A and B are shown apart, each in its own frame.
Chain A
Amino acid sequence: MYFINLTLGGVSSGIVYAAVALALVLIWRATRIVNFAQGGMLMITTFVALGVIDATGSYWLGLLAALVSGFVLGAVVERVLVRPIENGPPMNAVIVTLGLLLFLQAVAGMVWGGSPRSFPPLLGIKGFTVGDARLLLSPSDLFVIGAVLVVMALLVLLFRVTPVGLRMRAAAFSPEVARMFGVRVGRVLTLGWALAGAVGALAGVLVAPATFVGPNQFDAVLVFGFAAAVVGGLDSPPGAVVGGLVVGLTLSYVSGYLGSEVALLGALAVLMTVLMIRPNGLFSRTSVRRV
């Protein structure tokens, strides 16, 4: 029973890490940039969602506001901050996205204050009971898992069966050639960032009831999302999902059997193990392609 509960807990937190990882992967595939600002972006959009929920009382409107603002924020960041440095040395992008993270956290602190606020879940957080045992799985957890799975399915459809998705994949592999055949590569990159912004925003809203909302409340989620993305290979959306689950389960088992104080070490161990055995991640098919 204990094992089952640890597994359930690991899956429902892992799926959120998977969503964050997916956002990072979308951006990596489009622009070969690791977006350190993802945590700050999803923090802002979660504040937006909280404001809308407070004002209207509707969770769904809040979620919608988060998704839309995430989409717009992603697009604006790409156009304004990333576009000028896209062809520069990779370190420029690291500095810019890290700087953006600090900037967003500072702005959030000024606007909303530094103390964490609670965020309402859509559904109850009391675990289901089987017989007289209580599962570590609540209606809210099911909603989280379902929401992430739906979004992932939509992304798969977008990439696999729509012309727009085809163009995005082509531009990710060889922008120069894609451009020659009429793919508007610039637009495709913006779209990649916008989608990542929306996916990150979803992750923020879903995890907020557990972490609360504050300028630094999502740091851990971002770190685990990074770990998940790297485990999955940074380049592969399915890899991001598997990576998220691996990280979530590891954290859950380690804290359940060894104590929560060593959970982080467990995550680190997984990351190092994967990187030693498969340096490019579990799901990467090619080595570094960037020239």
Chain B
Amino acid sequence: MESLLRIDGLEVSFGGLSALDAVSLSVRPGEVLGVIGPNGAGKTTLFNAVCGFVRPAAGTLHWQDRALPWPRPHQLARLGIARTLQGLGLFPRLTVLENVMVGATRHARAGFASALLGLPRSDRDERLLRHRSLAVLRELGAEDAAGRLPGELPYGVQKQVALARALVGEPRLLLLDEPASGLSEDGMRELGEVISGLRERMSVILVEHHMDLVMRVCDRVLVLDFGKVIAYGTPDEVRDDPLVTEAYLGDEVTEGTPAPADTAAPAAPGSREESSRA
């Protein structure tokens, strides 16, 4: 298998405004791909396209070297794609453990009938899910919170829970949407170690603002600006790329670059879902 996920020529537009323009990328098995870019560059939109929350106007997707139609949200778990959300999206009235157990849904086999009749299969399923979920919480150091409701917990712990919920399904591809936001220095260091440790088990796409984290844990980095890929390579290559510096520092754009001016009008503040959310 050459690439786990490959995307070619992805285009997404919202009401005629181009949010992603000819974006291509690939993620190899066991690779951590960083996606960076200024607010409104289209990072979250990229995730939303992969997750089926927005329908691409164009572009193809290969999953394990096989062409697939763009997945719908309910197909993600079966494909082996899990995602964390910027807003975490934890279930408010489920305990932490139950939240994580929902993430392992695809491992639960017993249907409603066996649950209703109290058949051993459902019981076994339940214990298996519980066991597996506790193990993941333990791995992330959040097992003490297992019986609590998410709302009672500090933000950092909630983030761990959201990560545990994504990990427990043992995805092949994990999409992390700004996992470091709101974390302390220590929290960020731990997160870096966790992400690095995931390599053996899965590929990761990491959308993140914290450059040091991205540069530290990512094998390759893709830089988006105004919906276009302006750089794609190893952290060192990307760091030295003048286009990236321009995008981040807002230098004047020279001729011949993929000019943000093309899309400057539609990219007014607030017109991209990311900038309005940030």
Interface residues of A (CB under 8 A from B): 154, 157-158, 161-167, 169-170, 173-174, 176-185, 191, 285-286
Contacts and interface: CB of A to CB of B under 8 A. Distances in A.
Contacts of A157: 118
Most A C-beta atoms less than 10 A away, residue of B82, B83, B93: B93
Given A179-B73, A180-B76, A170 B94 contact: yes
B169 A163 contact: no
Contacts of A165: 115
Interface residues of B, number: 33
A179 B78 CA distance: 11
A163 B122 contact: yes
A178 B115 contact: no
Contact of A181 (B103, B112, B116, B118): B103
Contacts, number: 84
B169 A182 contact: yes
A162 B94 contact: no
A235 B110 CA distance: 27
Given A162-B126, A166-B98, 12 more contacts: A154-B116, A167-B105, A170-B98, A177-B85, A177-B89, A178-B91, A181-B76, A181-B169, A182-B76, A182-B105, A183-B105, A185-B74
B92 interface: yes
A234 to B, nearest CB: 14
Nearest to B52: A180
A180 B91 contact: no
A166 B73 contact: no
Contacts of B105: 163, 167, 181-183
Most B C-beta atoms less than 10 A away, residue of A164, A177, A181, A286: A181
Contacts of B165: 181
Given A173-B93, A177-B91, A166 B122 contact: no
12 contacts: A154-B116, A162-B122, A163-B115, A163-B125, A167-B108, A169-B98, A177-B85, A180-B77, A182-B106, A183-B105, A285-B93, A286-B92
Most A C-beta atoms less than 10 A away, residue of B111, B115, B125, B169: B115
